[in-house]
């Protein structure tokens, strides 16, 4: 009896994605408060019209009981905490939410917990559901995700020479981790230009608490530069395997 209970564990998490497995099973990838990213099996979910099924769609925040066996943990009980129905009803917000969970999925490793990242993920989905300005929610998320992953970009001084950034157009380098002044532009051949208005908004998203950004309206011309820049910045880190500074340290040691 005692052995059985010790194999059970509880977790709360957000469903990042799922894949079908065999006739009736589904493998879920979740980001949990307790253990970071985990995979779990939901057995028989497609065969029986399980009440659990509706709770286990992507973005849903769930409380779970799981049983640890020889393979993946199996979900024995699932209860939705938030289902985000209003978010799902809006196509644009659904697309943004897919981007939000994909970044967490791609930047995180199995079973490396980060409670602040979990909180940012849940807060972002809640904000996205309630907002009329999804871009503001997303850019706050992107800048704070970079912080929590250890990639907070330096946006005030040139990352190469250390000079304070003056109000003219600059360059940005994800590889070096921040802004390069025009004199140091050649320090990273892959750096690309960033306009001063876009840089100012990046700083604003980086240092301003959410309570003060909530009502913000983002000028269309800034958004036209900011959206592709932040996506490109994050994609660059992922494509170059810079998933975490710790990971970089590990591979340069060997
Ligand atoms: Zn410089």
0.75 surpassed by pTM: yes
Q: Classify residue 241 by burial, with Cβ atoms within 10 Å: 0-12, 13-18, 19+.
A: exposed
**Alpha-carbon span 184 to 164, nearest angstrom:** 12
pLDDT cut 70: percent of the chain above it: 87
CA 137 – ligand 1 centroid, Å: 31
CA of 201 relative to ligand 1 center, distance in Å: 21
107 C-alpha to center of ligand 1: Å? 29
141 CA distance to ligand 1 middle (Å) = 28
- Residue 242 CA to ligand 1 center (angstroms) comes to 23
- Distance in angstroms (rounded) separating the CA atoms of residues 118 and 91: 24
- Distance from residue 156's CA to the centre of ligand 1 (Å): 11
Ligand 1 centroid–CA 162 distance in Å is: 6
pLDDT at 5: 47
Estimate to the nearest angstrom the gap between the alpha carbon of 28 and the chain centroid.
17
Q: Which of 142, 141, 170 is nearest to 155 (CA)?
A: 170
199-245 pLDDT tens trace: 999 999 999 999 999 889 999 999 999 999 999 999 999 888 655 54
Cα 195 to ligand 1 centre (Å)? 16
Q: Please give the distance, rounded to the nearest whole angstrom, from the Cα atom of residue 173 to the centre of ligand 1.
A: 12
Separation of 180 CA from ligand 1 center, angstroms?
A: 5
Look up tokens 């998203």; give the residue. 205
Q: What is the largest CA-CA distance in the chain?
A: 70
CA 182 to ligand 1 centroid distance, Å: 7
> How close is the Cα of 245 to the center of ligand 1, in Å?
23
Question: Using alpha carbons only, what angle is made at residue 126 by residues 79 and 246, rounded to the nearest 5 degrees?
Answer: 90
Helix axes 220-239, 134-148, angle to 10 degrees: 30
Distance 184 CA to ligand 1 centre (A): 4
Alpha carbon distance 80, 84 (integer Å): 10
Reported as a single tens digit per residue, the pLDDT across 18-38 is 887 776 688 999 999 999 999
Write out pLDDT tens, residues 115-144: 999 999 999 999 999 999 999 999 999 999
- The yes-or-no verdict on residue 76 having pLDDT over 50 is yes
Burial of 250 (0-12, 13-18, 19+ CB in 10 A): exposed
43 CA → ligand 1 middle, Å: 56
Q: In the prediction, which pLDDT does 253 show?
A: 42
Mean pLDDT, range 58-66, rounded to an integer: 94
* Domains delineated in the chain: 2-83 (2.40.50.140), 131-253 (1.20.1440)
Q: How far is the CA of 158 from the centre of ligand 1 (A)?
A: 5
Kindly report the length of the chain: 254
Q: 150 alpha carbon to ligand 1 midpoint, in Å?
A: 22
């Amino acid at each position: 009896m005692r052995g059985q209970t010790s194999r059970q564990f509880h977790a709360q998490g957000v469903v990042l994605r799922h894949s079908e497995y065999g006739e009736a099973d589904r493998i879920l990838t979740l980001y949990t408060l307790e253990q970071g990213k985990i995979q779990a099996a939901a057995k028989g979910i497609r065969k029986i019209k399980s009440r659990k099924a509706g709770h286990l769609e992507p973005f849903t925040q769930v409380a779970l009981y799981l049983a640890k066996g020889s393979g993946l943990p199996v979900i024995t009980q699932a209860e939705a905490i938030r289902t985000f129905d209003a978010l799902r009803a809006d196509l644009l917000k659904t697309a943004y939410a897919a981007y939000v969970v994909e970044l967490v999925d791609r930047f995180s490793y199995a079973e490396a917990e980060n409670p602040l990242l979990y909180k940012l993920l849940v807060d972002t989905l809640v904000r996205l559901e309630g907002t009329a300005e999804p871009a503001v929610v997303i850019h706050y998320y992107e800048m704070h995700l970079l912080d929590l992953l250890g990639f907070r970009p330096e946006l005030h001084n040139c990352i190469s020479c250390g000079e304070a950034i003056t109000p003219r157009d600059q360059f940005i380098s994800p590889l070096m981790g921040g802004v390069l002044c025009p004199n140091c532009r050649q320090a990273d051949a892959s750096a690309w230009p960033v306009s001063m208005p876009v840089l100012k908004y990046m700083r604003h998203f980086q240092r301003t608490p959410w309570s003060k950004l909530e009502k913000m309206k983002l000028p269309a011309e800034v958004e036209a530069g900011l959206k592709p820049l932040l996506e490109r910045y994050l994609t660059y880190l992922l494509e170059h395997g810079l998933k975490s500074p710790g990971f970089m340290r590990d591979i340069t040691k060997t």
